[in-house]
């Protein structure tokens, strides 16, 4: 199995900010930082991120902030400068552009033009803001909760419960046909992509009480009827839509007889290495694979050119 270049960073994984846990535990210091003229704010509207005319992130200062705001979360520190993310309140619209903001852009689209650091910041900010939007009430007593620790946790004053964000682990795996591995297993799901030539690595959520290796083997068996032996870790990618962690693996099949779960999968098939190499280069009219922004691309690419 080929291991990813240690210098490579997946899209959404390159956050340079110090998340500054010590400040999160000091509400007075954090409040002062939030109101500092030196701090920067990244605004969101309906979870779309503020970008400038060149497609980079458009940060605004304390003095440029439109008031009132919606949810504000602390992202971290860089060069002694506080970085925050905030949603526009319902009183504002996407046309309320300030400072260098040219547009509010879908985060997936924005990431294609951002550098590694900016995309990593977007990953953290979007996931945090989305979590707060989805969890305004306590799951125990159903009363309203409030943000604490710069948005790292929500607290219920009624029953005292602390509610923490969740991250959903997803196993995504590129399976080869045997130890020599001249073919790999790719599939496409039922739905809007079922009738085209777009294939990807198999994937699925890790169940409760299940190891990553068990999840890989279970998902491949469920979707393709293939038993998997050796499983090796490749790399991981945060995927803030809304809060997944894609855990990439390679695996070796114990046999090659595919039995497709047709309720979930439109097709699963073995693909020869030369065909996959051509698809990675964008030169195979019969096979398309995910682009470089997705971990699936790198699982497939690293297998295709491993020697």
The whole-angstrom separation of Cα 67 and Cα 7 is 41
- 10 Å Cβ neighbour count for 46? 11
Q: Where are the domains of the chain?
A: 1-123, 135-166, 168-304
Classify 64 as helix, strand or coil: helix
pTM recorded for the entire structure: 0.93
- Runs of H (alpha helix) within 113-259: 116-134, 212-224
Report pLDDT for 193: 78
Is-cis flag, bond preceding 242, omega within 30?
A: yes
- Write the DSSP string, 258-296: ----TTTEEEEEEEEHHHHHHHHTT--TT-B---TTSHH
**In this structure, are residues 85 and 69 in contact, taking their beta carbons and an 8 Å threshold?**
no
Report pLDDT for 75: 98
Tell me the pLDDT band of 2, cut-offs 50, 70 and 90. low
Report pLDDT for 195: 86
Classify 220 as helix, strand or coil: helix
- Condensed to tens digits (0 to 9), the pLDDT of residues 87-145 reads 999 888 888 889 999 999 999 999 999 999 999 999 999 999 999 999 999 999 999 99
The whole-angstrom separation of Cα 137 and Cα 144 is 4
The whole-angstrom separation of Cα 95 and Cα 217 is 48
**In this structure, are residues 256 and 250 in contact, taking their beta carbons and an 8 Å threshold?**
no
Residue 283 C-alpha from the chain's centroid: 28
Q: What is the mean pLDDT of residues 244-266?
A: 97
Q: What is the mean pLDDT of residues 252-278?
A: 97
**CATH for the stretch 168-304:** 3.90.79.10
Report pLDDT for 3: 56
Report pLDDT for 41: 98
The whole-angstrom separation of Cα 65 and Cα 218 is 49
């Amino acid at each position: 199995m080929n291991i990813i270049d240690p210098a490579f960073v997946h899209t959404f994984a390159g956050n340079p900010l110090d998340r500054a846990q010590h400040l999160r535990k000091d509400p007075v210091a954090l409040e002062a930082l939030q109101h500092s003229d030196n701090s920067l704010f990244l605004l969101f509207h309906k979870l779309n991120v503020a970008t400038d005319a060149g497609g980079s992130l458009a940060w605004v200062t304390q003095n440029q902030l439109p008031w009132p705001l919606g949810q504000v979360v602390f992202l971290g520190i860089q060069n002694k400068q506080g970085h925050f993310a905030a949603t526009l309140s319902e009183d504002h619209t996407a046309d309320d552009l300030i400072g260098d903001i040219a547009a509010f852009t879908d985060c997936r689209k924005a990431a294609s033009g951002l550098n590694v650091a900016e995309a990593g910041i977007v990953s953290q900010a979007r996931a945090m803001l989305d979590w707060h939007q989805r969890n305004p009430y306590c799951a125990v007593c159903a009363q309203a909760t409030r943000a604490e620790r710069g948005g790292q946790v929500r607290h219920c004053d009624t029953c005292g419960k602390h509610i923490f964000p969740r991250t959903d682990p997803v196993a995504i795996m590129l399976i080869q046909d045997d130890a020599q591995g001249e073919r790999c297993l790719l599939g496409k799901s039922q739905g809007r992509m079922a009738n085209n030539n777009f294939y990807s690595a198999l994937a699925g959520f890790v169940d409760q009480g299940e190891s990553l290796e068990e999840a890989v083997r279970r998902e491949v068996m469920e979707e393709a009827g293939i038993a998997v032996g050796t499983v090796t870790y490749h790399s991981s990618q945060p995927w803030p839509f809304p809060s997944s962690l894609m855990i990439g693996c390679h695996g070796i099949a114990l046999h090659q007889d595919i039995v497709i779960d047709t309720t979930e999968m439109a097709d699963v098939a073995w693909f020869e290495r030369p065909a996959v190499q051509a698809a990675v280069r964008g030169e195979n009219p019969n096979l398309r694979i995910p682009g470089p922004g997705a971990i699936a691309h790198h699982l497939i690419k690293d297998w295709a050119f491993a020697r």
